[in-house]
């Protein structure tokens, strides 16, 4: 019985989110998005969307340009080979960059059933190479749409594209559970997060509402190693794998997206309107980041 009590106590301590201190890491940007920790450069990559730039924040050194002319970069992710993928909302496509300073890139996807995408907003990649992304239509994208729906998509490693969902509201942030078996999708208009079950081939089924009545339109999503879901909304809402809100990190600046970083994956980086923030956590981010 003594060992059981100790186990319960350890679990309770692991779910303690009190005492989180948020500090500003970088400021003076136009609108930041797409945080992604880069092991290769030991830096946080993020984008300044209106400026069309991908930037790199190196702790203790500051911010520098990483890539320019990125056509509205709203999401970044690495594929299983370590190549950087970029969701270009302005060019309405997802590309794969070549390493180094070259401006070459491959277009992974830009059309569905012959029509241009609305403007990919966020993406996530499973360890086996299955890619998932959201395709809403914000701002000027609504005036030049070719598709008559908003989409959540699955792109297989072989390049086969299927629509997982065509929601009424605009889908936004997207992420995976640590084991890659659950896909989470934020819907900004409905103020919900949906969940889908993923099989071994990456196919999605079992759509369900995972979190409802979120305070503020939900944007970016991430998970930690325990399966808790982090939602960038009014603040940073932390939800258990069972859908129970555990804690909300207050933010004075409206957050757009989140990512775990630093070498131990225990710093939560938060992109917002004009700045990037960070907070040390008591739990590591999921390796799906």
pLDDT digits (tens, 9 = 90+) for 26-54: 999 999 999 999 999 999 999 999 999 99
219 neighbors 255 (Cβ within 8 angstroms): yes
Please compute the mean of the pLDDT values over residues 191-213 and round it to a whole number: 97
Q: By the 8 A CB rule, do 50 and 31 touch?
A: yes
Give the chain's radius of gyration (CA, Å): 18
Domains of the chain by start residue, with CATH: 24-280 (2.120.10.30)
Predicted confidence at residue 202, as pLDDT, reads: 97
- Quick: pLDDT tens for 216-266: 999 999 999 999 999 999 999 999 999 999 999 999 899 999 999 999 999
- Given a contact cutoff of 8 angstroms between Cβ atoms, the answer to whether 180 and 197 are in contact is no
User: Does residue 1 carry a pLDDT above 80?
Assistant: no
pLDDT higher than 80, residue 168:
yes
Tokens 């908003």 sit at which residue? 150
pTM confidence score: 0.93
| The two three-digit tokens of residue 127, written as one number | 């360890």
How confident is the model over 203-228, as a mean pLDDT? 97
Give the Cα separation of 214 and 172 in Å (integer): 14
Sign of the alpha-carbon dihedral angle for 268, 192, 110, 128? positive
Biggest CA-to-CA distance, the chain: 65
Q: pLDDT band at 155, cuts 50/70/90? A: very high
pLDDT by residue (tens digit) across 119-136?
999 999 999 999 999 999
Q: Where are the alpha helices (DSSP H) in the chain?
A: 2-14
What pLDDT does 100 receive? Answer: 75
Q: What's the pLDDT at 120? A: 97
Task: Summarize the confidence of residues 141-159 as an average pLDDT.
Answer: 93
- For the record, the structure tokens of 213 come out as 């009545």
Res 140: pLDDT: 76
Does 5 have pLDDT greater than 90?
no
């Amino acid at each position: 019985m003594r060992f059981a009590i100790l186990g319960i106590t350890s679990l309770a301590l692991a779910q303690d989110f009190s005492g989180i201190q948020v500090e500003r890491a970088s400021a003076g940007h136009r609108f930041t998005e797409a945080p992604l920790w880069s092991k290769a450069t030991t830096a946080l990559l993020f984008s300044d969307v209106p400026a069309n730039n991908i930037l790199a924040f190196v702790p203790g050194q500051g911010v520098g340009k990483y890539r320019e002319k990125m056509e509205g970069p709203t999401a970044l992710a690495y594929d299983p080979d370590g190549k950087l993928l970029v969701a270009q909302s302005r060019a309405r496509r997802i590309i794969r960059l070549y390493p180094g300073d070259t401006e070459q890139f491959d277009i992974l996807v830009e059309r569905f059933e012959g029509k241009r995408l609305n403007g990919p907003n966020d993406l996530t990649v499973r360890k086996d190479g299955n890619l998932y992304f959201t395709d809403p239509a914000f701002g000027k994208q609504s005036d030049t749409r070719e598709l008559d729906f908003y989409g959540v998509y699955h792109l297989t490693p072989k390049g086969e594209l299927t629509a997982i969902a065509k929601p009424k509201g605009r889908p936004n942030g997207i992420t995976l559970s640590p084991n890659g078996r659950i896909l989470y999708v934020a819907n900004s208009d409905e103020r919900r997060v949906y969940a889908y079950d993923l099989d071994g081939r990456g196919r999605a089924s079992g759509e369900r509402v995972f979190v409802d009545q979120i305070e503020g339109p939900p944007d970016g999503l991430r998970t930690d190693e325990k399966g808790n879901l982090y939602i960038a909304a009014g603040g940073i809402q932390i939800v258990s794998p069972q859908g129970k809100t555990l804690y909300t990190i207050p933010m004075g600046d409206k957050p757009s997206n989140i990512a775990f970083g630093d070498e131990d994956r225990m710093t939560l980086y938060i992109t917002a309107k004009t700045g990037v923030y960070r907070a040390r956590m008591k739990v590591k981010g999921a390796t799906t980041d």
